[in-house]
Amino acid sequence: MEIKANAKYVRMSPRKVRLVVDAVRGMEVGKALDQLRFIKKLAAKPVVKLINSAIANAVNNFELDKDNLYVKEIRVDDGPTAHRWMPRAYGRATPIRKRSSHISVVLAEIKDSGVKEPKKQKIEAPVKLASEEGEKAIKQESKKTEKSEKDGEAKKITKEAAAEKGKKIVDPRMEGRGGHAKIEGKSHKGFADKVFRRKSG
């Protein structure tokens, strides 16, 4: 049984990561992690993270024993290179290549346990679907609520219209000459006849 894990776009050059990877190829998982813990290279961190990810895949997805695994294959490939420029003397520009790498690891069993497929995970719906009768009842209730809301709005509008009848509309801005303008009127078919009158004096 083989378990795979990948780490892509690691911001280190493949040449530097290969120095670390070559030290643990073919080792048992526990020994490999111990070896990486004492390597004084920055590239050891992403490699440790990747091996731990592969171990988690083996334990959770395939129910394999952690102590029965070893690093069968570990490979570092070139990722995309970012091109930058550095100003130098006499107006020159020299290139800077910021390289990245893709690391892939394959773990295998020391003693074959016979597991070939991942365990089946039970997927349950978070909410149980209602029956057809229940759905119909819900739709009818929603329609009733919509009707009641519409009726309530219509009543409010009629009350407001009745209250507005016979009201005197006063211009709050007082924009007439000398601030004496007023708007007065009576309701006429829903509209107010606006008459502007000036106060004398």
Would you tell me how many other CB atoms lie within 10 Å of the CB of residue 14? Answer: 19
Question: What is the spatial distance between Cα 112 and Cα 4, in angstroms, rounded to a whole number?
Answer: 17
The full set of domains in the chain, from first to last, is: 2-84+95-109 (3.90.470.10), 163-201 (no CATH)
Average pLDDT over residues 15-19: 96
What digits encode the pLDDT tens for the residues 74-127? 999 999 999 999 999 999 999 999 999 999 999 999 988 777 777 666 666 565
Helices (H), the chain: 14-24, 29-37, 44-62, 132-164
Taking alpha carbons only, the member of 189, 165, 36, 155 closest to residue 105 is 36
pLDDT of residue 1: 84
Average pLDDT over residues 137-166: 69
Taking alpha carbons only, the member of 10, 85, 87 closest to residue 50 is 10
pLDDT of residue 21: 96
Whole-number percent of the chain with pLDDT over 70: 68
* N-terminal to C-terminal alpha carbon distance within the chain: 105
pLDDT of residue 142: 77
What digits encode the pLDDT tens for the residues 105-120? 999 999 887 777 776 6
Residue 189 structure tokens? 């078919």
Flag whether pLDDT at 171 surpasses 60. Answer: no
Flag whether pLDDT at 35 surpasses 60. Answer: yes
Q: Calculate the alpha carbon distances from 91 to 31, 86, 94, 95, 96 in Å.
A: 53, 10, 10, 13, 16
